[in-house]
């Protein structure tokens, strides 16, 4: 399925975090509720317009693995699979 986000929106596939540490300690769901999450960018918009009407290019690209705000993007479900749609401003960092 093809997606074409508008403006500075990004379409993300969430990456589930490991619930167990290397030493075998299980981390409960409640422990990381406020932490940023990771996702892979599947599609990006063309960028938003500035005050002069010029398009500001996106700093992320398709395929980037990013950290984003937990409650920033909206969750949607398509064909029983969960995705996230948010603004580029919801992204905190690109993981290299």
Query: What's the average model confidence in pLDDT over 21-37?
Result: 64
Cα separation values, 50 from 46, 68, 90, Å: 13, 23, 18
Q: What is the CA radius of gyration of the chain?
A: 15
Q: What is the pLDDT of residue 87?
A: 95
pLDDT tens per residue, range 52-89: 999 999 999 999 999 998 888 999 998 899 899 999 99
Q: In this prediction, what percent of the chain has a pLDDT beyond 90?
A: 64
pLDDT tens per residue, range 7-26: 999 999 998 766 666 677 76
Res. 43: pLDDT tops 90: yes
Domains of the chain: 9-16+36-95 (2.30.33.40)
| Token pair for 27 | 């981390």
């Amino acid at each position: 399925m093809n997606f074409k986000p508008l403006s500075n929106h990004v379409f993300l596939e969430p990456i589930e975090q490991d619930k167990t540490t290397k030493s075998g300690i299980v981390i409960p769901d409640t422990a990381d509720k406020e932490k940023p999450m990771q996702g892979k960018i599947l599609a990006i918009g063309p960028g938003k317009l500035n005050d002069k009407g010029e398009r500001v290019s996106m700093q992320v690209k398709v395929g980037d693995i990013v950290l984003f705000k937990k409650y920033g993007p909206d969750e949607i479900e398509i064909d029983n699979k969960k995705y996230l749609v948010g603004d580029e401003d919801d992204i905190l960092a690109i993981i290299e």
